Amino acid sequence: MPERTAANGSEEKVGEADRRRLRARIRGRVQGVGFRYFTRSKAQQLRLDGWVRNLRGGDVELAAEGPREDLEKLLAAVREGPPMAWVERVDVDWSEPRGDERGFHVRHTS
């Protein structure tokens, strides 16, 4: 079972029932502004599993798994984006976790 650091600094178990999968497509000026690396940094800080990639049409796509509370924090961050980005819209899909990723990575353009 995954662990995370609680607010008091102790390690706590995260139940599988608490885990969710977030898929998001971010639209706007989100390529060429460090968006994928911004997202990876935030996701790694939150200890989420998953990936982020550019799409050929100019959007960015991400898939992340972890506690719903932490996924909401990631979602809030990508709605803001890095300083040079302009986020027009974020399409979100929630589902059950697949457990097929460990760590958070930048993938090649799709």
Cite the active site residues: 36, 54
Q: Which of 25, 26, 33 is nearest to 85 (CA)?
A: 33
| Polymer length of the chain | 110
Distance CA 13, CA 34 (A): 33
| Whole-number Å distance between alpha carbons of 32 and 22 | 23
- Largest interatomic CA distance in the chain: 43
Segments of 14-78 assigned E as strands: 19-29, 49-54, 60-67
